[in-house]
Structure 1
Amino acid sequence: MPSASSPIAIIIPARYGSSRLLGKPLARITGRTMINRVWSLACAAVGADVVCVATDDERIAEHVRSFGGDVVITPKECTNGTERVLTAAEMLATTPAVVVNLQGDAVLTPPWVITALVDEMRRDPTVEIATAAVRMDQRSYEALRTAKGRGEVGGTTVTFDRRGNALYFSKSIIPFMRNDGQGNDTDPLPIFRHIGLYAYRYEALCRYISFASGPLERSEKLEQLRALEHGIPVRVVKVDYCGRTHWAVDSPDDLKRVEAIIAEEGDLVAA
């Protein structure tokens, strides 16, 4: 078990066999591989002691070593990225007190967002799981509402209580806006888009993995609902992207979109 002096580790799960984009971590975005970009973002975050890639594929491992990254080879039997992260944490020389799960396709995650989660875990030792969310403005709300109207499933929203603990996560837009979100400039929308970045106490991660999925998780296809269904509070950390665009990579079209965003907004971290 980790001690009070145990490190905080950022672990990046990177699987080769993506059904929609085979070899996704090695896909190139404006001259650099996806995994190299995510590694750079993790290293630029403040407060973590360890950064490593968890993969089941030697091609990815060899590439990570080529740019000086640390890597842990995990079994192919890991059923998802969260299980892969826990397996990697157990394989580290020192069991971490806190594990940050930074998805291997999160190429546009600002380092200060990762830092915000690490800071929250250090600030409040009672927090078992933390995740991030950004408040939506009128423009982003309308864009998401239009996308949902077309039947797109991308984009998760979250509601939380006054302490910042999550009440619910949904692929629907919550809370429902009876006035279609038409408010005034002094009354910001109470809609927060969830960012799929998580920090866990090691013990909480072990408990989470041991739980079976429940009806809410199976209905929404959102793993974080497993924690809520089993009574583990999830702290939602409000973050500001400072004008940067949030986007993840799930398909070849997403690669082109991310390249366009980087061309317009610049790199978050220099090569």
Structure 2
Amino acid sequence: MSVLIAIPARYASTRYPGKPLVPLTGANGTSMTLIERSWRAAISVSGVDRVVVATDDDRIREAAESFGAEVVMTSDTCRNGTERCAETHASLGGDHEIVVNLQGDAPLTPHWFVEDLISGLRNAPDAGVATPVLRCDGNALNGLLNDRKHDRVGGTTAVFGNDHSALYFSKEVIPFTSDIYAGADPTPVFHHVGVYAYRPDALAAYPSWPSGPLETLEGLEQLRFMENGRKVLCVEVEAKGRQFWELNNPQDVAKIEEMMTAMGLE
């Protein structure tokens, strides 16, 4: 089963313009841009046939080509990463059996998150889309709550049913819990990992649907699938001692660099 990883990256981010070209310094002092670190995360995934950076910006194209990435130029009318992946897949012939969207702001994504995601979608023929979820420990949950307390949009949380079909995704912390968790305590909150695996028919249909009210309110592209009756499978993944965070705000740069240093990531 052929697998394509597309890394959608745009320069004109509302919250953080130029984000893909922001440098991140690892444990040994090595500095790489966010887009290069995300590409390196993608090429570490086993069982993948092709990895491309998908962008509409020549600055990102030039940076990506400088470290050896294959680049697909897309239109500037794509409303989000899923639409950019749909256009990319179509431009490459549309013949991959699974398309993975590894967003360009997730450099800490371990390879097994994506490998487990691909496996999960393969084993769920009734799902058109799959996405990883990671159970928060006390530290992660407190980080999410702290972001909301300070009016920052941090990570996204997910709730799902017994069959792991997504019920909802939100930038608020859901479900509500009044308990106090600390350190490595497991919590009932799941952090949504911003990676998606699509079957081609679901991906091709996506750009034809208008943005619904939930997608518009939350600013979460995956809600468009749910608003149009498509099952989104949540695949629970294990941290295995790795810390995970996405680069959503300028404040996240220092946080991610601290995590890389703590984990010994170059």
> Residue by residue, what CA displacement relative to the aligned partner does 1:152-181 show, whole Å, maximum 9, x if unpaired?
33222211111111111122222222xx12
Q: Residues 64 and 70 of structure 2 are in contact (CA less than 8 Å); yes or no, is this contact kept in structure 1?
A: yes
Contact persistence 2:155–2:246 (CA under 8 A)? no
The residue number in structure 2 matching 1:216 is: 214
Give, in whole Å, the separation in 1 of the partners of 2:237 and 2:59. Answer: 35
Q: Which one has a bigger Cα radius of gyration?
A: 1
Counterpart secondary structure, 2:251: helix
Q: CA deviation at 1:250?
A: 3.1
What is the Cα-based RMSD across aligned positions, in Å? 2.1
Q: Deviations over 1:28-70 (max 9, x none)?
A: 2121121111111111112221110111122322332222221
Q: Percent identity?
A: 44
The whole-number CA distance in structure 1 between the counterparts of 2:70 and 2:112 is 22
Residues 14 and 104 of structure 1 are in contact (CA less than 8 Å); yes or no, is this contact kept in structure 2?
A: yes
Q: Deviations over 1:184-212 (max 9, x none)?
A: xxx95332111111111111012222111
Residue in 1 that maps onto 2:133: 133
Residue equivalent to 1:72: 72
Matches within 5 A, 1:43-192: 43-93=43-93, 95-177=95-177, 180-181=178-179, 189-192=187-190
- My pick for the range that moved more, 208-217 or 198-207, is 208-217
Runs of 4+ in 1 over 6 A off after TM superposition: none
CA distance in 1, matches of 2:142, 2:247: 22
Hey, what's the Cα distance between the residues in 2 that align with 1:73 and 1:143? 36
Residue 12 of structure 2 is aligned to residue 29 of structure 1 = no
2:5 aligned with 1:10: yes
Q: 1:202 aligns with which of 163, 177, 200?
A: 200
Give the gaps of 5 or more residues in structure 2.
Answer: 26-30
Residue ranges of structure 1 left out of the alignment (5+ in a row): none
SS at match of 2:187: coil
* Inter-CA distance 252–158: structure 2 relative to 1 (3 Å threshold): closer
Distance in 1 (alpha carbons) for counterparts of 2:76 and 2:6:
17
Q: Distance in 1 between matches of 2:151 and 2:188?
A: 23
Query: Is the 8 Å Cα contact of residues 213 and 226 (structure 1) preserved in structure 2?
Result: yes
Shift, 1:182, TM fit: 5.2
TM-score, normalized by length of structure 1?
A: 0.86
Label 1:142 to 1:256 Cα distance change in 2 as closer, same or farther (>3 A).
closer
Q: 3-state DSSP class of the match of 1:219? A: helix
1:247 has 2:242 as partner: no
| Count of residues in Structure 1 that have an aligned counterpart in Structure 2 | 258
- Give the structure 2 partner of residue 230 of structure 1: 228
- Which residue does the alignment assign to 2:28? none
Q: 1:41 to 1:128 in 2, by over 3 A?
A: same
Query: How has the CA–CA distance of structure 1 residues 215 and 18 changed in structure 2, closer, same or farther, with 3 Å as cutoff?
Result: closer
Give the counterpart letter for 1:199 in structure 2: A
Q: Structure 1 residues 73-82 or 191-200, which shifts more?
A: 73-82
